[in-house]
Structure 1
Amino acid sequence: MYKRLIQTLLPALVVLLSGHAIATQAADDAVTSSEQSPHELIETVTDDLLQMIDEHRETFDDEPQAFFDSLDCLLTRVIDFKWIASNVMGTYRAEATDEQREQFVETFHRDLIETYGRGLISYGDETIVVLPPKEDLEGKRRVTVVQEIRGKDGVFPLYYSMALNREGVWKITNVVINGINLGKTFRNQFAQRAEKYDGNIDQVIANWSAPSDVMKSEG
């Protein structure tokens, strides 16, 4: 149960693609995010996410897209998907065209929302707690927020790397759980695919959703 929860809940809260929410909603979210500390923001979005899961659990099989759309809008508030996707491309980012970079952001975004959204629906009744900061965060532009998933099988820590963007809004840029660095894992996956397809970035993007040996080894 916990292994499945880690593989699904974490990337949805993390990893971690902004740009598909409507403009007015994005503006409202930016104001809300800028008024909250990074710890408050993670706690608020987690509460909203759990409520969203409850609301869509019974109707998901018939209307999965409704859940994916709601999840997309919610996670856009806290995840810098564009920044994450750019870093996932690693050194291949410099070789890619603007169109390829944009296409990968869109593909990476969609894959995370749909793949991990399906796993989130099966989330149980574990307790999720955001730990208070251990130091004064005043003036900091990069912080780590620690969250714990607590249940009968143990406690699993999540470490969110968060950065203050140019608009003054806190965004998640990476997540580490039990020593597994998701940003690094996805970057290794991209490099593995690029090697497999002889550096053909279009092929990497087209086959991004296929099972990866990197992801299998992490699981």
Structure 2
Amino acid sequence: MKKNRPMIWSARHSLVSAMAAMLLVVSQWAAAEQKPASAALDKEGPEYVVQTVTDQLLSLAKDDTAELKKDPEAFYGKVESLLEPSVSFDFIAKNVMGPTYWEQANEKQQEQFVATFKRSLVETLVKGMASNVDLDIQLVSEQSQVLKNKASIVQKVSGPEGSNLVVYSLGKGKSGSWKVLNVVLDGVNLGKTFRSQFAQGVKDNKGDLQAAIEGWSAQTKG
């Protein structure tokens, strides 16, 4: 049994903790000393996508975090632009709402939730980017699986307090580009966690979908 598991396990059933878990791991990758993407990786493959985002976050964390204090909105914009080509925010947000609530929502509400969801992820990521933790990040190719239009890419994150497996689910869209669709952290499916939290938000607001959408950002900041 592992001792002193990382702080990401402190409250896995909370949306805020789950989201912070995923993004803290990513932000710690950005702060850690990492090797450049292997030249052996297929530059159009899903493993390269995951590694490239890690390297780009590293560069951003090293060079631009001072801008966060001077102009937060500009910094958020940089992080969002960095993630946009590799993360399918629209797909993830739609699945977080779930098919029932997505179909109930009008077009304006759908667009509002996608924007709110995206910004909440970016802001949570930025909050964690100041963390500097020495971690060893390795692709676990023997556990990864790449099919024609979908892939599961596994990375092992090792540090002083133990190790974690992070599994990225990616899909290839009509454009032919791979994008992240979900993340599973040591068996915790964050997409499903987010969906359960959104459904609970609708319930707490007595079926008021608009109130649940507006409350999402406040919940993730809590």
TM-score by length of 2: 0.77
Letter in 2 for 1:172: V
- State the Cα deviation string for residues 39-85 of structure 1 (Å, max 9, x = none): 01111110111121111234433333332111101111210000000
Aligned CA distance change for structure 1 residues 59 and 201 (closer, same or farther; 3 Å) = same
2:138 counterpart residue number: 129
Aligned CA distance change for structure 1 residues 12 and 210 (closer, same or farther; 3 Å) = same
- Structure 2 residue matching 1:77: 3-state secondary structure: coil
Does the alignment pair 1:50 with 2:58? yes
Structure 2: segments with no counterpart, 5+ residues: 10-17, 27-41
Letter in 2 for 1:121: A
**Conservation of the 8 A alpha-carbon contact between 1:142 and 1:164:** yes
Does the alignment pair 1:98 with 2:102? no
Does the alignment pair 1:178 with 2:178? no
Instruction: Write the mapping of 1:102-181 to structure 2, written as runs, cut at 5 A.
Output: 102-133=111-142, 137=146, 140-181=148-189
Aligned CA distance change for structure 1 residues 175 and 120 (closer, same or farther; 3 Å) = same
Q: Please tell me the root mean square deviation across aligned C-alpha atoms, in Å.
A: 2.7
- Structure 2 residue matching 1:60: 3-state secondary structure: helix
1:3 counterpart residue number: 7
**Conservation of the 8 A alpha-carbon contact between 1:12 and 1:113:** no
Counterparts of 1:170 and 1:163, CA distance in 2: 5
Moved more, 100-109 or 113-122: 113-122
**Conservation of the 8 A alpha-carbon contact between 1:107 and 1:208:** yes
1:23 counterpart residue number: none
Structure 1: segments with no counterpart, 5+ residues: 15-33
Aligned CA distance change for structure 1 residues 165 and 77 (closer, same or farther; 3 Å) = same
Counterparts of 1:99 and 1:185, CA distance in 2: 24
Aligned CA distance change for structure 1 residues 188 and 56 (closer, same or farther; 3 Å) = same
Query: How many Å apart are 1:177 and its aligned residue?
Result: 0.2
Aligned CA distance change for structure 1 residues 102 and 110 (closer, same or farther; 3 Å) = same
2:31 counterpart residue number: none
Aligned CA distance change for structure 1 residues 113 and 182 (closer, same or farther; 3 Å) = same
Query: How many Å apart are 1:205 and its aligned residue?
Result: 1.2
Counterparts of 2:145 and 2:218, CA distance in 1: 43
Give 1:193's match in structure 2, choosing from 201, 212, 215: 201
Q: Percent identity?
A: 35
**Conservation of the 8 A alpha-carbon contact between 1:4 and 1:119:** no
Aligned CA distance change for structure 1 residues 81 and 133 (closer, same or farther; 3 Å) = farther
Letter in 2 for 1:10: M
**Conservation of the 8 A alpha-carbon contact between 2:19 and 2:190:** no
Query: How many Å apart are 1:134 and its aligned residue?
Result: 5.0
Instruction: Write the mapping of 1:29-44 to structure 2, written as runs, cut at 5 A.
Output: 35-44=43-52
Query: How many Å apart are 1:12 and its aligned residue?
Result: 7.6
